[in-house]
Amino acid sequence: MPLVVLKTSRPMWARLAALVFTCVAFSIAAHGGAINNSMYDWCIFCWAFSFAGTLLVLLVEVMGLQARAPLSWKNFPITFACYATLLCLSASIIFPLYFVKGQVARDETRDLRIVSTVFSCLATIAYFIEVSLTRAQPGEVAGYMATVPGLLKVCETFVACIIFMFISNPVSYDSHSALKWCMAVYCICFVISAAIVIMCVGECTGFLPFPFARFLSAYALLSVIMYLTATIIWPIFKFDSRHSGSSRRPGSCGNSNDLCWWDKLVAVAVLTALNFLIYLADLVYSARLVFVTV
């Protein structure tokens, strides 16, 4: 009979904590009553997906199946932990904003939602600790996704997904060709960054017909230039009255508990600038990897 020996470590304790926190978060949120709202579904997905992925990582490591996994175990756990950090962080912001804020009367449902929010924040902290403990240290040989540029790739794809959510409901990029260029920037950079993450996790970078490190630097430079144009173009064509934009929040938006169309335009502008800064940091670190360590 095979004997499973549990080797504990600080990252494993962080995973166990995140496993418990995410389980409590979505269980209590579901117990508080299902809500017919897309944001509620998103929060439940964030917690449930993070829980399922963490459980899978723990089972593989406890049973010692890392060598049999059809992917790079140097890259997969930290990649998943970084995505889980961002997912739980978004749920920790969205859930209280939509389902706790504005509820003055104290009842069981409100208390349960507050508890879910607290455990979501704890899960975010636990995943962040896991990423901090497992990322590559200076001079250490590790997988690409454990380095700063690898973790930045995760942030780039996640921010792009949030941009897609805001820009497509309602569709706000089809009124001018310049805005369509912004959408093209978001799509092109997202696809390439996601492909890089998939290739690293799947250990497929060796099949490329060119040096992977130099490709990363060239792509980072190109994406910085593209995002810089989108960072400038989007506010001009959405908030400048000379281009049929609106610089002031419409009064009708104050009557809605949800984000109105103008709020989403502002969110896209802020997230575009944020992703530009992330790609800029990616360029700096990728250039250092090529010209300093190579």
Average pLDDT, the chain: 86
pTM, rounded to two decimals:
0.89
DSSP 254: G
d(CA 181, CA 187) in angstroms, rounded, equals: 10
Q: Would you place residue 294 in the very low, low, confident or very high pLDDT band (cuts 50, 70, 90)?
A: very low
Domain 1-146: give its CATH code: 1.20.140
Tell whether omega for the bond before 170 is within 30 degrees of 0, i.e. cis: yes
User: What pLDDT score was predicted for residue 1?
Assistant: 41
The token pair at 172 is 């706000």
Domain positions in the chain are 1-146, 147-293
d(CA 172, CA 39) in angstroms, rounded, equals: 20
The token pair at 9 is 């470590």
Helices (H), the chain: 10-31, 38-62, 76-99, 108-134, 148-167, 177-201, 212-239, 261-288
Q: What tens digit of pLDDT does each residue of 278-287 get?
A: 999 999 988 7
Q: What tens digit of pLDDT does each residue of 166-210 get?
A: 998 778 888 888 999 999 999 999 999 999 999 999 888 777 788
